[in-house]
Structure 1
Amino acid sequence: MKKILPITVILVTLLLLLSTASSQAKIQITFMTPLSGADGAYMDQIIQNFNKENPDVNVVHMVVGSSVEYKQKLSTGLATKSAPQVLLIRKFDLPMYLNQMKGFTAGDFAKYGINIRDVYPNLLEGLVEDNKYYGIPLDVWIFYMAYNKANFKKAGLDPERPPKTRDEFIKALEALKKVTPKGLTPYYENPTWAWIFVHFLWQFGGDLLTPDFKKPAFKDAAIQTLKFLMDLQERGLFPKAAVDPGPPFQSGQTSVLITGIWTINPWLQALGNNFGYAPCPQVGTKKAVFGGSHIIALPEVMVSDPKVYNAAMKWVKYLWDHALDWYAAGQTPSRRSIATSNELKTKLPHIYAVAQQLPYVKTFQFFPYISEVLDEIAVYLEDVLITRKLTPEQAMERAEKSVQRILDDYWSTVR
């Protein structure tokens, strides 16, 4: 006589089989990012929402904050075919890996509902070869001018009209000097911060390298930049020593910083109505502002399986569609349609104000050793701006020779 199983046993068995089949069908995507700061929590929330809404894909967030460690992990992963399927990588870390990333035509992106032509063209420089795009700029971490509105009022300045030109900037600093405690300066920043040096270098019309990456191109503009900063120092408007600018600005003792968008949320919370934010003043001859991007890229070796590729692109499209959630972390849009939108202006007015600089944002040249080039120049900043051991001319002549050696070494290894 056949034994009949109870209906509950049959139902449980069916549910287990369905659950097993579902878990086997789920594709895991590893998403490696450098988001080791507070912005990582925003990305974690976006990932959590995606995983809830897409039961067939599971995105795992791998955070590697250090550029050096990030590149080591990526290099090893590519060599062993164990790299993440999707990357969020700083643009200046990407050049040496570009030929290992999957290329897309504008039509390929369009199939997934991504309009790559909505991205500001200046952000795509270096990412396009033979009409193929090897990455998508998700955002721009741009410089802006942070200022203390209460101090502007004390100094007799209109806090709703921050300086826009070199003359206005210097006049504002002269007025703010009168309300700045002794031992501090109204514009209080570390003089040897390499990124602020590059920001001003670009405004004085220079660049680190020639377009073909064969020779240094910074000397003349760098000398102008250093002389500008030295003039601010002699006027008592800018420090002559290495400093930590954050605490004095947050306490209201100092008044102005030209710094990165990643600071905007903390200072909004700390300073409230006294916190002002505006585009950077133009102190040189060229309208330019320092910026960088996090790039979405897919290692080609990791998405050769069509199922994995489609799962990875589903996640990429989700990031594209939920970019505004990411910009709330303190990033500016990479896309014109968002940067100029009323939605951004309404939801994130501070980001909208800073985003108006995006048409003239400039990023590091797409050269594999651009960080090493900048590090070599930065060695000489202290000799000019702190110790005064060298004149700007002497320092940049020496920096030029050091950078040329880096370039010669690189090109000697390239066929």
Structure 2
Amino acid sequence: MKTALSAIALICLSSAAVADQVSQQATQLEPQVIEWRRHFHQHPELSNREFETAKYIENYLKGLGLQVQSGVAHTGVVAILDTGKPGPVVALRADMDGLPVKEQNGLPFRSQAIGEYNGEKVPVMHACGHDTHMAMLMGAAKILTDMKSQLSGKVKFVFQPAEEGAPVGEKGGAELMVAEGVMKGVDVVFGLHISSDTDVGTVEYRHGGIMAAVDPYKIVVKGKQAHGAYPWLSVDPVVTSAQIVMGLQTIVSRELPLTQDAAVITVGSIHGGNRSNIIPNQVELVGTIRTLDDAMREDLHAAVHRKAKGIADSMRAEAEVILPYGDSYPVTYNDPTLMDKMLPTLHRTAGQGKVQEVKAVTGAEDFSFFQKEVPGLYLFVGGKSVDLPKHQAPAHHTPEFRIDEAGMKLGVELLTNLTLDYMQQRQ
């Protein structure tokens, strides 16, 4: 028993010493991480169009002496640090793409970039923090490469394109990376997302589902056209659609066990008709479903079909349900056993009182495709200045979005320490 306790004590001392070493290196590297982030911020590129971003990352990783593969899932970059010693394969992921948003925040390095989205010229901005994610992973790659002699196994650095969704008619993102074999041989995957409304120096986690599954859908309601003055001659798809919209809301409120997990069903657009005095032949409803539990997800899907078709039938109309309508993402699910094992790493890295377990959010992340292949953790890192009130923090995906760059140092340390500690646990 004494021998076992002594071994544990030595491991704890060793981990603390390594964490101090990582912190010192992250501090020294912080100005460079900020420089990388600002470069990416000034030169954002849209999903599946991250050509210059990929070249910049590729050149840097090659300079570290890593094995680098480019053109993965169109524009992704994957690099491998091989220690030459037996051990697990740890994957670390950062997303690369910007958004069709015009930046309006007064930053001296704000984006002036223009891209093409759905055939139109649009402004482009890193309005979700992917620029920081890339910079943090580059920092972790540098430190882990310098600490190669202390590692056992391999580290796979995954720079993923198209997290925000591939252009219409294209495949992309994490799902395509998985299809191309990026996760083959990987034992575990870690990813971070910076948060504009969470204090710098804070890390947030959750056991199980932390971000929702997303399923877009389309309902086509078919009726019979008639003059608006004689509605009895029609089968009115507009009135039928109105009842379907209201009926869909009762699925969540009356059919799902909401004390178990949250769920959302939203109708985002309605299209039908072209004149005030013509009842059209059909109306189209397009929306999104968000769930945090696989069984609830299945039940909600079945209910949408049943509710839409039943209401349409009661109105003498027809309803065609297309679900999913476009790309679906699974639940971003933190393996509970892995979460328990790595919690000490979070506490040791962030410090006392800086680690918070949070409720799940109904936003979605295609990091979930990696987690379907191997156990993984997805964490939030604070990017809000501590003196800025939370209600004043600019939201993600908005023109005003901005983060405090001081938050990136913790991200670099977390990616590094999660890798080191996981490898040590597997030895």
TM-score between both structures, scaled by the size of structure 2: 0.24
Higher helix fraction (1 or 2): 1
Higher strand fraction (1 or 2): 2
